[in-house]
Amino acid sequence: MTPHPRCRYTDAMIFDPLYWLVIGLGMVLSLGAQAMVKGRFQKYSQIGTRSHLTGSQIAQQILRDNQIYDVTVEPVAGNLTDHYDPRTKTLRLSEGVFHSNSMAAFGIAAHEVGHAIQHARGYAPLKFRSAWVPLANTGGGISMFVIIAAFFMGGAATAMGATLAWAGIALFATTTVFTLVTLPVEFDASKRALAALNGRYVSEEEYKGAKSVLDAAALTYVAAFATSLMTLLYWAMQLGLLGGRRD
């Protein structure tokens, strides 16, 4: 006897080993990347640079080096909460970076300036990501409701189920696309940061410390994309859109 669609959905969420494998791998990748970032940040935040500049000062210096004078640098509460807001042209550095003279602070501050440089230069992937944010937020917010509805309608085995299945996967894919386009944006910001620091503001050893922190941070974005992609493929398989129906 063919299981009720609701039972298939419950089984997919609770009893399917592949589901837990996807969830487990995603957690391992994400937690591992976060632990590496925190570990390297803690290590290199204890090692000062030869200059007397702080993270906020190095950010302002690099902005001036790139003839960018309309970006404000300000502190923000929290740990590793650093970010650049293109809407207000504000570069916010966590207090541990804003006031610090460490290798880690230099790397992170320069990375966020890298985003400001991207914005000023009209870097296409950054523009695309910014424009994509509302779509990803909406798609990610309602995708699971549509996917659940597709299960109830029989997935790819019925006309209505197939329509809902494709719609649900397309909505979920908006978040996967966001994590994908984030990769070149973040990699490029780090590349710009290290180029700005190298030889002028840091020694060779200090450069390596800053690079180590940024390399670890990049893994968090790789982990986010890998997790989103695995989840997308999993639901496509469950709905019968990929590899045939799994009853």
What digits encode the pLDDT tens for the residues 98-132? 999 999 999 999 999 999 999 999 999 999 999 99
| pLDDT of 82 strictly over 50 | yes
Q: What is the mean pLDDT of residues 183-209?
A: 92
The type of residue at 205 is E
Model confidence, pTM = 0.87
Question: For residues 37 and 200, what is the distance between their CA atoms, to the nearest angstrom?
Answer: 25
Annotated catalytic sites, by residue?
Answer: 112
Token pair belonging to 7: 């039972």
Greatest alpha-carbon pair distance for the chain in Å reads 74
| pLDDT of 245 strictly over 80 | no
Token pair belonging to 118: 């991207």
CB within 8 A of 194, min separation 6: which ones?
Answer: 107, 110, 207, 210, 211, 214
Q: What is the mean pLDDT of residues 35-56?
A: 92
Confidence (pLDDT) at 12: 53
Confidence (pLDDT) at 18: 79
Structure confidence at residue 75 as a pLDDT band (50, 70, 90): very high
Question: For residues 212 and 230, what is the distance between their CA atoms, to the nearest angstrom?
Answer: 27
Among candidates 39, 30, 24, 83, which has minimal Cα distance to 219?
30
Q: Is residue 243 part of a domain?
A: no
Q: Is residue 245 part of a domain?
A: no
Number of domains in the chain: 1
The whole-angstrom distance between residue 187's C-alpha and the CA centroid of its chain comes to 11
Q: Is residue 99 part of a domain?
A: yes
Among candidates 79, 1, 93, which has minimal Cα distance to 42?
79
Cβ-contact 228, 176 below 8 angstroms: yes
Pairing of β 72-76 and β 90-94: parallel
* Residues 47-66 pLDDT 10s: 988 888 999 999 999 999 99
* Residue 26 bridge partners (DSSP): none
Mean pLDDT of the chain: 90
| pLDDT of 46 strictly over 80 | yes
3-state SS string for 10-71: HHHHHCCHHHHHHHHHHHHHHHHHHHHHHHHHHHHCCCECCCCCCHHHHHHHHHHHCCCCCC
| pLDDT of 171 strictly over 90 | yes
* Residue 85 bridge partners (DSSP): 90
Q: Is residue 247 part of a domain?
A: no
> What is the layout of strands, in order, in the sheet containing 90-94?
72-76, 90-94, 83-85
Structure confidence at residue 93 as a pLDDT band (50, 70, 90): very high
Confidence (pLDDT) at 39: 94
Highest mean pLDDT among 2-16, 47-61, 169-183, 188-202: 169-183
Structure confidence at residue 11 as a pLDDT band (50, 70, 90): low
Structure confidence at residue 1 as a pLDDT band (50, 70, 90): very low
Note down the domain range covering 45: 5-238
Confidence (pLDDT) at 24: 87
Q: What is the mean pLDDT of residues 64-87?
A: 94
Q: What is the mean pLDDT of residues 192-213?
A: 91
Q: Is residue 197 part of a domain?
A: yes
Q: Is residue 180 part of a domain?
A: yes
Q: Is residue 201 part of a domain?
A: yes
Q: Is residue 244 part of a domain?
A: no
